[in-house]
Amino acid sequence: MYDMGLRGYAEALSFQREVAAARIAKRVPQDVLLLVEHPPVITLGRSTKPGNLLATTGMLSARGVELFEVERGGDVTFHGPGQLVGYPIVDLAEHKEDLHWYLRQVEEVMIRAVAPFGVRAERVAGKTGIWTNGRKLASIGVHARQWVTWHGFALNVTTDLSYFDLMVPCGLPGVDMTSVERELLEGAARGVCLAPSPALGEEVREATVRAFGAVFQRQPATTTREALIPGA
């Protein structure tokens, strides 16, 4: 696992492509989970339909939101502060050469990651990602070459959900986006759970790393940028 911290989308995209290429070439001999938090950015996946981005370039600029078209699957989505973004660089030849299986495994990682906080997440048939109380908590969009994956998941932890008003999130009209923080605050108001701690972001990150290791049967270990791509 390599935690990139707060990093611009373009830089993180370039780096994950480098790591994926190195994994394909076997220069990186193990699966890698890149974790990152992005400044506000909207990305358009290969399946983005015309009209699902509701904001003009002027509106995006006014809110300081960048825009990228990328090779991942899926529709339009948002990344920003308070969101845990994970880019698993996984060689499915060492697991199962099945992208549908892989998507379900990534969903399982996030379901397990939020469970210790009292958030009961679930899958919705025919819709990639995880949901809770009828609201979407996390999105997934992946790409693979020679069975090595990149791109990944975005789990809303303390995210400003108003950014999702700039689009039809994931191309799902009427979808209500939520966050771990929102679910905990609403639960605490009903007296069914504790309010989120100030360290919620760090706690969810650690739970996600543990869940990733358990689901993909790997022992998590911290690595560095230099160890992955010497000279990067």
pTM for the model: 0.96
Residue 34, both tokens: 């890149």
Give residue 192's pLDDT: 86
The pLDDT, as a whole number, for residue 154 is 98
Q: Is residue 173 part of a domain?
A: yes
For 70, how many CA atoms within 13 A lie in the half-sphere containing its CB? 29
DSSP bridge pairs for 41? 66, 79
What is the model's pLDDT at position 49? 95
Long-range CB contact pairs, 22-25, < 8 A, 24+: 22/228, 22/229, 23/89, 23/91, 23/148, 24/91, 24/145, 24/146, 24/148
Splitting the chain (232 residues) into consecutive groups of 10 residues, what average pLDDT does each group show? 98 98 97 98 96 96 97 96 98 98 98 97 96 97 98 98 97 96 96 91 98 97 95 72
Report the number of distinct structural domains present in the chain: 1
List residues bridging with 78 in a β-sheet.
42
Burial of 173 (0-12, 13-18, 19+ CB in 10 A): exposed
On whether residue 79 sits in a domain, the answer given is yes
pLDDT of 232: 67
Q: What is the pLDDT of residue 193?
A: 85
What domain range is 47 assigned to? 2-227
Instruction: Cite the active site residues.
Output: 170
Tokens of 40: 């506000």
In a domain, 48, yes or no: yes
Q: Is residue 232 part of a domain?
A: no
Give the side-chain half-sphere CA count within 13 A for 201. 16
Domain-embedded: residue 86: yes
In a domain, 112, yes or no: yes
Residue 179 lies inside a defined structural domain of this protein: yes
**Radius of gyration (C-alpha) of the chain in whole angstroms:** 17
DSSP 53: B
Is there a domain that residue 33 lies in?
Answer: yes
The enclosing domain of 125 has a CATH number of 3.30.930.10
